[in-house]
Amino acid sequence: MPTEDAKQREYSRAEVAKHDSAASLWVIRGNRVFDLTMFHTDHPGGSEILMQFGGQDITDVMRESDIHVHAIEAYRVLKDFYIGEVTADDRVELTLPESGKDEMDCIREEGFIDINQPLFMQMWRSNFSREVYIKEVHRPRHLPRPAVFFANPILEKFTRTPWWVIPIYWGPIMAAILHLGRQYESAQVLCVGVIFGVLSWTLLEYSIHRFVFHYDENIPEGTMSQVAHFLLHGVHHYLPMDPLRLVMPPALSTFLALHILAVLTCIFAPGMLHAVAGGLILGYVLYDECHYWLHHGASSNKYLTQLKSYHLRHHYRDFKHGFGITSDFWDKVFGTQFVGA
């Protein structure tokens, strides 16, 4: 965050216009100047969109539906990068939206946890009502670095999972399970089971996201339930662009996998059991890697671009809809797709 002295500085529009590159990216919004150098790579719409407007006034741009109308949470993130004001000679009269109130003035701040301090103990010692907790944890914040969960560096390591850990951890396990399955069934039967497992994962992905991760308003009152919710999924909505909290830690995914495996053993015989389990693991790995890409990747492919926008709308505009990650198929089946534009 800028210092108090920096916040009092004034900049001419000509000076701001010089900061139009990835090395130094400034913008003007409502006669205020913001330094987005540390943010543009994490911009939900992609870095290339912000780069188009480097050094420019984006007041009207943020309201243009042709690009995408920004939810109030976008203005909440923007204010964290405030560095000063436009000089008096360069100030312009602001046009207010239909609501009659500037978006930056609509941001409501309630006392919540400090993202610059270790998060876990703040949650552990908190005393929020369920209503306040659910509302605040779904208001996205941004840090230019991974958040810190624990002051203890050893405990902290267990909370951080780079995207590449998932295939390295689960790949050999999947291969071993399918190798064991080959002792019971032919390669053709295993292939069918794997395909069934991958397709089944899409429903499991949707169900876990909707009914477990987003238990939300149904969690009991009290700090302990909020701590559990925060660790399981709440932190991901609170800090959606944290690169080390976008894939599930192996300890947690293994715990869930063992419970799923216990159910599968009651349904399938050996061989098909191994194939379906292998398919579910493959589906999970593809899902987690896709999820990471949806937050930090970029592509000119129309389908992938739409999928990215779909998921980020879940984070930045409407967390009660859009539970599909790799596809919106099950949202359409169960009627949980987004409402309106």
CA distance 299 to 301: 5
In a domain, 214, yes or no: yes
In a domain, 156, yes or no: yes
Location of structure tokens 């992938």: 304
| Pair 30, 104: CB distance under 8 Å | yes
Q: Quick: pLDDT tens for 42-75.
A: 787 777 788 889 999 998 888 875 445 566 778 8
* The last residue of a domain, from among 72, 106, 140: 106
Q: Tell whether 38 and 133 lie within a shared domain.
A: no
In a domain, 340, yes or no: no
Q: Tell whether 216 and 240 lie within a shared domain.
A: yes
Q: Quick: pLDDT tens for 131-177.
A: 999 999 998 888 888 999 999 999 999 899 999 999 999 999 999 99
Is the alpha carbon torsion for 261, 279, 267, 207 positive or negative?
Answer: positive
The Cα-based distances of 75 to 13, 25, 42, 72, 146 in angstroms read 21, 17, 15, 5, 21
Q: Tell whether 92 and 127 lie within a shared domain.
A: no
In a domain, 158, yes or no: yes
Instruction: Provide the number of structural domains found in the chain.
Output: 2
Pick from 194, 145, 167, 203: which is nearest to 292 by CA? 167
The whole-angstrom distance between residue 314's C-alpha and the CA centroid of its chain comes to 9
How much is the average pLDDT of 327-334? Answer: 96
pTM over 0.85: no
Q: Tell whether 149 and 194 lie within a shared domain.
A: yes
In a domain, 113, yes or no: no
Q: Tell whether 16 and 86 lie within a shared domain.
A: yes
CA distance 135 to 129: 10
pLDDT of 3 strictly over 50: no
Q: Tell whether 142 and 279 lie within a shared domain.
A: yes
In a domain, 19, yes or no: yes
| Pair 170, 284: CB distance under 8 Å | yes
The Cα-based distances of 135 to 108, 130, 332 in angstroms read 11, 8, 26
* The last residue of a domain, from among 106, 136, 161: 106
* The last residue of a domain, from among 85, 106, 127: 106
Domain with 78 in it: what CATH number? Answer: 3.10.120.10
As a whole number of angstroms, the longest Cα–Cα distance in the chain is: 80
Question: Residue 16 sits in which domain range?
Answer: 4-106
User: What is the token pair recorded at 219?
Assistant: 């969690």
Q: Tell whether 185 and 292 lie within a shared domain.
A: yes
In a domain, 317, yes or no: yes
How much is the average pLDDT of 24-28? Answer: 95
pLDDT of residue 162: 96
Q: Tell whether 309 and 194 lie within a shared domain.
A: yes
Q: Tell whether 177 and 285 lie within a shared domain.
A: yes
3-state secondary structure 213-236: HCCHHHCCCCHHHHHHHHHHHHHH
In a domain, 159, yes or no: yes
Torsion of CA 201, 203, 206, 211, to 10 degrees: -110
Q: Tell whether 89 and 150 lie within a shared domain.
A: no
Location of structure tokens 């399955």: 181
Q: Tell whether 295 and 212 lie within a shared domain.
A: yes
Q: Tell whether 39 and 165 lie within a shared domain.
A: no
Location of structure tokens 């243009």: 64
The whole-angstrom distance between residue 155's C-alpha and the CA centroid of its chain comes to 23
